[in-house]
Structure 1
Amino acid sequence: MSKGAVHHHFPDKRSIFDEVFRESQRAVMAQVAEAASAEGASPWALAESSARAFLRSFETDADKRPLLRQSAGVLGAERCRRIDEELALPQMRFLLELLDERGEPQPADLDAAATVIFRMLCEAATSVAFARAPGKAAREAGQVVIHLLSGLRRPAGS
């Protein structure tokens, strides 16, 4: 592809980065959707496997880590946030709705919970992206995320 053809579709380097980052995030969310579609799994198991799939995508794909590290600097935090909200929050809300339909989580506003949980996952993914040992960082961050998610569970018998 010629430079002119690229500039026909993208007015500047930031626009190119925006599209590359967006595609990377779509791929991450496809992995999360796959993890969330396991048949016969409880909604809590789906939520946990989705969180782990999210972190694993940054652990195992060496191209995603530098994109994530650079995204806020190139696109700005607000643009990254809008992309995340567009691509990820609907899936997060869907999982929370599954839990809520079964009466499993403690009472909480689903939109607020989805946003806070996703921001927590983003911070965990960023720690993986900056880590010298991404595998270890993903396991450690995943464990913390799962512990924090368990705090949303309604106590047995309530």
Structure 2
Amino acid sequence: MNRKVEQGDATRAQLVAAGVALFAERGFAGTSTTEIVRRAGVTRGALYHHFADKERLFEACHAEVQKDLYARCAAAASAAPRDHAAQIDAGAQAFLDSCLEPQVQRILLREGPLVLGRERSLRFDDPYCSRRLLRAALVAAARDGLLPAEHAEPMAHALYGALDQAGNVIAAAADPAAERERMGKAIADLIAALLRANGPRPGS
């Protein structure tokens, strides 16, 4: 990689880091491009070289936060015992832990759907959407007979919707840590109940 490309990548990373910090603190509408370039220590020209407008920068910040969240959920699921319910729950609990963080609360949960469009959150084509992890885990559970194969994708939507709502409740709570504990127990029970209800019947 030549020096010019390295410098360009470094500048882009500085802009994204500044954007994540400011959007998490002040929101999309409350953050100006002037503040972003000042925080990043770059010129306005550098901003518009990498991003067409503030919305495109927000999209890159959203992707960065989402990528980090995906990695944490995947790592938690991989570290869990080789049991489908335990792995799905471990990933879900990592998701809920992240919902205590300002950048997840504001950029992913609150403002992402408003700035980028709610329909984006309903698709599986984003490589770092945690919904993809849920679908993969449920497809694996279906292969082992824990649920009908045709239920894997609808259940991924349903569970992700429950996690998204739980995250918003945590973010809005007067005591987020206490609410996270309550939501964690409810989500664990929900996952166990869904797999138990859809699993093979005794004697089948």
Q: TM-score range by the shorter chain?
A: 0.7 to 0.9
Distance 1:33 1:118 in 2: 15
Distance 1:150 1:8 in 2: 49
**SS of the residue 1:56 aligns to:** helix
Give the stretch that moved more between structures: 19-28 or 71-80.
71-80
Distance 2:191 2:84 in 1: 12
Segments of 5+ residues of structure 2 without an aligned counterpart are: 1-41
Distance 2:134 2:75 in 1: 13
Distance 1:126 1:28 in 2: 15
2:146 aligns with: 104
Give the stretch that moved more between structures: 86-95 or 18-27.
86-95
What is the aligned counterpart of 2:52 among 8, 11, 32?
A: 11
Q: Greater Rg, structure 1 or structure 2? A: 2
**SS of the residue 1:109 aligns to:** helix
Q: Contact 1:33–1:91 at 8 Å: present in 2 too?
A: yes
Q: What does residue range 134-153 of structure 1 map to in structure 2 within 5 Å?
A: 134-152=176-194, 153=196
Opposite residue 53 of structure 1, the aligned amino acid is A
Give the stretch that moved more between structures: 111-120 or 36-45.
36-45
Opposite residue 139 of structure 2, the aligned amino acid is E
**Cα shift at 1:105:** 3.1
TM-score (norm 1): 0.85
What is the aligned counterpart of 1:26 among 46, 67, 76?
A: 67
Matched positions, count? 156
1:2 aligns with: 43
Instruction: Report 1 or 2 for greater relative contact order, CA contacts < 8 Å, sequence distance ≥ 6.
Output: 1
RMSD: 2.2
Segments of 5+ residues of structure 1 without an aligned counterpart are: none
Give the stretch that moved more between structures: 131-140 or 17-26.
131-140
Distance 2:148 2:193 in 1: 8
**SS of the residue 1:95 aligns to:** helix
